[in-house]
Every structure is written in C-alpha cells, then in structure tokens.
A and B are shown apart, each in its own frame.
Chain A
Amino acid sequence: MAYVFFGYFAGVIALTAVLVVALRNPVYSALSLLVMFFHVAGLYVTLRAEFLFAVQLMVYAGAILIFYLFAVMFLTEKTPDRYHIQSWGSLLIGGAIIVEVVVLIGQHGISFGSSVARTAAPSPSEEGNTESIGQLLYTSYLFPFEVASLILLVAMIGAVVLSKKDLPEVPPS
C-alpha cells in the first residue's frame, strides 16, 4: 500500500516537474508547479510530517504560488483573450465544491455538541507531530529561528524598497 501511494505521488511530482520546465506559457508552468506542491504535501503525509503538510499547502501553494501568478499576469506583455472566457464547466465544479463545504460544515456543526467530539481530543501524554516540532523549534533551534525571522524582515524591507517607484525630485524652494 505504501508503494502505491509513493508511486502515485512520485509519478505526479516527476511529471509536473518536467512540465514546469517544458511548457511554453508561464501561466501553465506556474499551475503545474501548484499541482506539484500539492503532491509534495501528500508525500509529506506518507512520511508522517503532518505539520509540514499543512505548512506546505499554506505557504507554498497558498502564498508563494499566488505571488508568482500575480507576477506572471502583471508582467507578461500580451494576454490571450481566452483567459477572459469563463467556461460553464468551472461553474459546475465550483458549485460541487460549495455544496461539499456546506455539507461538511453542517455535519461538523451537528456532531460538535455531542460527547463524541470531546472524547476524540488527544490525551496530553501522546505528543503529536506539531507539538514535538514546536518543542524542538523553541528550545534547540531557537537561535536559527530568530535568524529566520530576521531574514524575513530584511526580505520585506528589500522588496518594498526595490519595487517602489522613485519619488519625483522635490524642487528646492
């Protein structure tokens, strides 16, 4: 069973990695990179790194890739007209997802008040993946963690400085 999951994830990762390089259109490259990020996250689950699975989805697929797509749309000279055509199939898929979300929230809301949810809470004796990572990150790796936050601060300031337009020269009065 483990081989089946690994084979699926590895196959899709390898295929989409090649597609990122091979596709002409940068939008398609970015979208196939998105598929690759999802499957790398799946590979993390098979390696029992559940917290990294969530982080991979949120940071890579959620933040970094949206950033890339924004830059592609912003900087590409001519966008073909077919980007502006909305197909009816997407309405169908979107409607199905909305129905699924409503159903899931409804089920959760029903079972939330029952005693089943309370007994399902993990006992403090068994540490999950997230707890042990947090424990390690704030004890042994505290200094590298602070350095990482400094890197992010420098990157933030650098991005703001680099991408802002030069202010017009103020004429001396």
Chain B
Amino acid sequence: MNVPIHYYLILSAFVFLTGLVGVLVRRNIIVILLCVELMLNATNINFVAFSEYLHDLGGQIFVFFTLTVAAAEVGVGLAIVVAIHRSKDTINVEEFNLLKW
C-alpha cells in the first residue's frame, strides 16, 4: 500500500534538475535564488522520505538545518542583490562582470 521509495527519489531528482537548469539558464538573479530554493526543497523531500522508510527521525532533524541554511541564504542573498542593484541599477547577471577577467 505504501508508495515505494524510488518514486520519491525520482520526484526529488526531477525537482533538483529543474532547479539546476534554472540556475544555469535564467538571467534574473532573483529567479536564480528561487531556483536554489527549488533544489533545497528537493533535498528536503529526500530527507523526509528516507526518514520515513528507515524509521529514523534524524532525517527530519536535518531538514531543520537545511531550513536554517535556506533562511540565511535568502537573507544574505537578497541583501547582496539590493546592494548590487543600488550600485549597478540592474538585476541581470550578465551585467555583473566586476570579478571577471
């Protein structure tokens, strides 16, 4: 009756790949950060699925730490975006070439 675990793994791999493609192809830096959230959620699905199937709550604890990192990422990331927008007046990553050579 239970859904086998590889269904969850396929779903999570699909969501992760979608996020990865989004990070690589999109040019808007906010959408890139959204795609990072997508990848973090894919790993969370994996953690919770394994926690249920191995009867080990450690997986659910780890989701908390992923959540902490996601919250820190969104705070610092959007602060950086605001700072860049203030100095360059754009949020297109093609224009951010200060560290390129």
Q: Which residues of A contact B (CB under 8 A)?
A: 1-3, 6, 10, 13-14, 17-18, 20-21, 26, 29-30, 33, 36-37, 40, 43-44, 46-49, 51-52, 55, 59-60, 63-64, 67-68, 71-72, 74-76, 132-133, 136-137, 140-141, 144-145, 148, 151-152, 154-156, 158-160, 162-163, 165
Contact = CB atoms under 8 A, between A and B. Distances in A.
A52 B65 CA distance: 12
A172 to B, nearest CB: 27
A76 B29 CA distance: 11
Interface residues of B, number: 54
A26 to B, nearest CB: 5
B96 interface: no
B7 A6 contact: yes
Nearest to B18: A17
Contact of B38 (A36, A43, A71): A36
Q: Is the interface of A mostly helix, strand, loop or mixed?
A: helix
A36 B34 CA distance: 12
A68 B76 contact: no
A12 to B, nearest CB: 11
Interface string B34-56: 11011001001100110110000
